[in-house]
Amino acid sequence: MKYSRFLCLLLALAACRGPLGQEDPEPTAVETVKADLLDVVFQKDGSAKNMSGSPVALSVVPGPGLMTYYNEDLGRYVAHFNAVPGESISDGYYVARYKDAADVRNGLADGHSLELVCRFDGPDNPALEIKPFSSMQSGGTGFLLTQTSGELTFLPNVSTTGASNWTWTRSGVKPEAGRFYHVVGVWNKEKGTSSVYVDGVLKATVPAKGEFVFPNSKNIYWFCIGGDAGSMTEAAWCGDVAVARIYNDVLQADEIRALYEASGVASARKAGFFIRDIAFSPYCYVPACYRYHIHGNGFRPGDQVVLNAGDGTFGLDTEVGSGEVKAVIPATVPTGTCTLLLRRGEESYPLGTARLTVGAAGKTIETRLVAHRGVHTGGIPENSLASLAKAREIGAWGSEFDLWISADNVIYINHDGTIDGKNIQFSTSADLASVRLSNGESLPTLETYLDKVCEDDRLVPVIEIKTHQERARNTRCVDDAVAMVKSKHLDDRAVWIAFDLDNCKRVHELLPGAMVQYLNGDRSPAELKALGIMGVDYQTGLVDAALVEKAHSLGMEVNVWTIKTVSEAHKFMALGCDILTTDIPEEILALLETEWVTAD
């Protein structure tokens, strides 16, 4: 089609000036500012992207308490965090690492602005700080809910001396549970001030003269979304984060007001209900048509669990009980990662993320628990008689302890080779007689330990032979330990473990029917079975579904160490591990005693 010259000219003018030749409108305040250091956009699959163009590396540490969902009021995917407010967490957060981004570090140092859209779902925890978006370890910047008052606060670290100096910029606003807020913090280096805005309104400005103080280690040059960055991720958030941005610019009041108006917060609906204390198995084998249990507080009759997996959405047959719901998993649910929501009328509440393996009925997993070095919580020293007694008291299946043989052939219990400056394998029992544990106990011997084991006809001693410097000392330790275990009539109950393969082989030679488990992780199940070693006892990072399946096909047991979180325990239970060796035995024991999947 051809156009006349007049029409072409008119189209050109329209393209330059807008509809019907009008001049382009002036850019809005939102369009004039750019989150050029970090602009987090959450994705449907739980990941997130940094849209700022900066080299900040953005990643996710997935966990059952983290999921994303589409919020229609805000017109974007939102990250939801189901953590216990203020506590330390090992998963379920995002990492925005700026360690290798010099321009970002410079941008923070010469004055910056942070923007956050968040919703706190409570409950309050006045004893702890709670942080949705922060990088604060002895320096840095970010937002938090303060201890005691629980008010939204911007907290840059600015100092005239170079020492850590927090600038508490308190808004006076304690967030109402379930309501979205738009929060902006501005550190103006040139003016020496720090300001905080909530929902487009200036709430406070305080003096903040000096230089920006970064966190005390470059390894901690990262922002956490869902908690606080640090050597441990702490101050966990509970609720939603929709926007997390960092600007190199010192934003002005009109720009902040425009950002608020563009955010959708003003018209966003408040959450109508909450489900708290949520617990479910995040890694779980579920026979088709079995009931998947979700524990928590706040369920009501008529609630329905909705499961999203792949491209499908499944409204599950849901039974509401006391402190839990049971949802029937149909055979049509694909194996893989899914998100779980609770629907009540027209509203839904995000529950979290799980990886479900849906299969045939008949698969049973009976996981046992070993207290690693006994139960050493509440001030009880590890490998002590008290730690063994506590393992018996809580009902652990087994209690693990470590053996060293002294220069005069007395076997002692201790994890490290030295204690109080004395090297056990080169010390005599006279040298070690003065050693005291933190609770006043003497350094226990194997004989005293086994005498205590004999007081319980159920507890399994899990005996680790430590690797001595000389082969002869290894052999002597094994031989004497086996002889003592036999003398106490515990040989049909004890489990033996060692990093040294020769130690494992020696135990098998002396006790052919004993359960011996190899720790080092460098041999296949088939190689171990050929040596008569019928147990794989490997570190968490070395245990996967293939290893468990191979070991079980050979009639072997799989033990995994050292479980430090409930989430890890769920994962290795779902893999079918026979034994979990853990530093948190009381928590894991409660986990093992809870129903997660049932046939009815």
pLDDT tens, 345-394? 999 999 999 999 998 887 666 899 999 999 999 999 999 999 999 999 99
**End-of-domain residue from the set 359, 392, 411:** 359
Count: domains in the chain: 4
Pairing of strands 398-405, 368-371: parallel
DSSP for 495-554? EEEESSHHHHHHHHHH-TTSEEEE-SS-S-HHHHHHTT--EEEEEGGG--HHHHHHHHHT
Cβ 181 vs Cβ 152: under 8 Å? yes
Which residues, including other chains, have CB under 8 Å from residue 5's CB and lie 6 or more apart? none
Look at residue 12 in the predicted model and tell me its pLDDT: 31
> How far apart are the C-alpha atoms of 301 and 296, rounded to whole Å?
14
Closest CA to 446 of 385, 533, 363, 357: 385
| Number of Cβ within a 10 Å radius of residue 425 | 18
Tell me the C-alpha distance between 181 and 464, whole Å: 54
Q: 562: which 2 tokens?
A: 């050292």
Identify residue 402 by its one-letter amino acid code: D
How far apart, in Å, are the Cα atoms of 192 and each of 5, 13, 110?
59, 47, 11
* Co-location of 328 and 459 in the same domain: no
Return the closest-CA partner of residue 293 out of 496, 68, 67, 596: 596
Q: Which residues contact 127 (CB under 8 A, 6 or more apart)?
A: 86, 147
What residues make up the domain containing 536?
A: 368-598
**Cβ pair 64, 353 in contact under 8 A:** yes
Residues 6+ apart with CB under 8 A from 65: 81, 82, 83, 89, 91, 92, 278, 352, 353
Distance of CA 459 to CAs 195, 225, 412, 508, 566, Å? Answer: 60, 43, 20, 21, 23
Q: Please check whether residues 399 and 321 belong to one and the same domain.
A: no
Residues recorded for the chain: 600
Distance between CA atoms of 364 and 369, rounded to whole angstroms? 16
CATH number at residue 191: 2.60.120.200
Domain containing residue 327: CATH number: 2.60.40.3920
Q: Give residue 468's pLDDT band: very low, low, confident or very high (50, 70, 90).
A: very high
**569 and 495 in one domain?**
yes
393 vs 458: CA distance, rounded Å: 12
H-state helical runs in 233-288: 253-263
Rounded to 5°, angle at Cα 40 from 338 and 86: 70
Q: What confidence tens digit (pLDDT) does each residue in 499-517 have?
A: 999 999 999 999 999 999 9
Strands 304-309 and 238-247: what pairing?
unpaired
The angle subtended at Cα 307 by Cα 301 and Cα 312, nearest 5°, is 140
Average of per-residue pLDDT values in the chain: 93
How far apart (Å, rounded) are the C-alpha atoms in residues 116 and 181? 8
DSSP string for 79-136? EEEEPPTT--BSSSEEEEE-TT-HHHHHHHHT-EEEEEEEEE-----TTS-EEEEEEE
Note whether 493 and 385 are same-domain residues.
yes
Does residue 11 have a pLDDT over 70? Answer: no
Out of 359, 378, 402, a domain closes at 359
DSSP assignment of 136-163 equals ESSSEEEEEEPTTT--EEE--BEESSSS
Name the band, by pLDDT with cuts 50, 70 and 90, for residue 184: very high
Task: Identify whether residues 252 and 299 lie together within a single domain.
Answer: no
Beta pairing class for 557-563 and 579-582: parallel
- Which residue, 332, 350, 331, 348, is CA-closest to 340? 350
Distance CA 591, CA 574 (A): 13
- Same-domain pairing of 299 and 213: no
Backbone angles phi, psi at 13, to 5 degrees: -65, -40
Looking at the structure, tell me whether residues 502 and 467 fall in a common domain: yes
* Overall pTM surpassing 0.75 (yes/no): yes
User: Do 76 and 178 have their domain in common?
Assistant: yes
pLDDT in tens, 325-347: 999 999 999 999 999 999 999 99
Quote the pLDDT of residue 30: 62
pLDDT at 397 over 80: yes
What are the backbone dihedrals phi and psi of residue 70, each rounded to the nearest 5 degrees, phi first?
-85, 125
* Residues 455 and 334 placed together within one structural domain of the fold: no
pLDDT in tens, 554-571: 999 999 999 998 888 988
Structural contact between residues 137 and 229, judged by C-beta atoms closer than 8 angstroms: yes
Same domain, 428 and 498: yes
Residue 382's CATH number: 3.20.20.190
User: Under DSSP, is residue 290 helix (H, G, I), strand (E, B) or coil?
Assistant: coil
Same domain assignment for residues 323 and 203: no
Q: What is the pLDDT of residues 256-293, one digit of tens each?
A: 999 999 999 999 999 999 999 999 999 988 999 999 99
Mark whether 373 and 230 lie in a shared domain: no
Q: What is the structure's pLDDT at 366?
A: 83
Which of 338, 359, 380 is a domain's end point?
A: 359
For residue range 569-598, list pLDDT tens digits in order: 988 998 889 999 999 999 999 999 999 999
